[in-house]
A and B are shown apart, each in its own frame.
Chain A
Amino acid sequence: MKKYREENDTELIRRIQKGDEKAFEEIIRRYSNRIINLATQIMGSQDEGWDIAQEVFISVWKNIKSFDISKNFYPWVRKITVNACYEELRRRKGHIESSLDDVEEGEPSIDVPDDAYSPEDIFDKIELKEAVEEALNSLPKHYRVTLWLRIIENLSYEEIAETLEINIGTVKSRINMARKMMQDKLKYYLEEKDESS
């Protein structure tokens, strides 16, 4: 495997296109964490994120011959992941009317303080990380995914717009809204931080 670890994505993809499973294993090793994290954010649960990520890599294996080697590999996989998650959510939407379209686009209104965490709740959390995870999970999916692509995947607004097939204005408003919501949900904790610092 050492040989494969030293190879770049393009070399690995060439090998995978010839059916090299070891090269495929190396690609999984490189990107599975990011894909599982992304899928978890979109699906809202780790188990589902894990399962969808597996489907994504199986799909990569099946469709790798159609991949244009002159392009970057990871954005392609990321796009497959987003599409796979949205497809799954759309499939479920027939049963439960929520998921992706649970928040209307356009000028969002802020009505967060009602479910913001109380100081006692926050005090019990001990770790900011847990509070942030919970706050993040409570965001509407659209906002959470957009913010995730910005902060974790480090995509520009334009790249996010391409990935999610939305316009840049929507990306901007989702990110602003998501940050506002996060700030409101964590405000007691953030105030405590300020007081202690």
Chain B
Amino acid sequence: MSKHLLNYSDDELLTFARQGNDEAFAVIVNRYQQAVLATIRGMLGEVGAVQDIGQDVFIRFYKAIDNFKGDAKLRTYLTRIAINLSLNELQKRKRKSWLTFFRTNDALPEISDRSESWKRKEHQELIDKALLSLEKDLRAVIVLRLVDGFSTKEVAEMLDMPLGTVLSRLSRARTQLQEALIRLGYHH
């Protein structure tokens, strides 16, 4: 990846990428991959498909780069693709009846050693499990709002739903998340 491209803005990189400069597109991938992967991980949990779907997000964006008019921020646009692909993946899993395995509350294992300090990996696992216990629609709003840090208004725009619906889903999601975390052994 060319070092000199790292300092360019998103708009400039997009212009270069549209002109066929793949190095510029690689900088975009590098810049937003963590945000995209965090969204997908929040939606699907830590599974092998996260990386594949993450790559698919950028490939789809590359193919449709001319469709991006800059109305939304690039991160918002990529996150929207990530959410849609994650929902598709969940739909596929549902069709294969795998989702019940992932979502059944009984299947949530307890954290074995509660006296151990919260290491980052355990922490991530805990969050993943808590998120996976939420309903699909609630998960999308909570991932965008709490994991990705988008504002409620941005979440509403991204999911194309009224602000009131987002607020009520957030409220339900927070309650369910709280319950799931307690069930998994997290105590405040």
Indicate whether A and B interact.
Answer: no
* Chain B positions near chain A (C-beta within 8 angstroms): none
* Chain A positions near chain B (C-beta within 8 angstroms): none
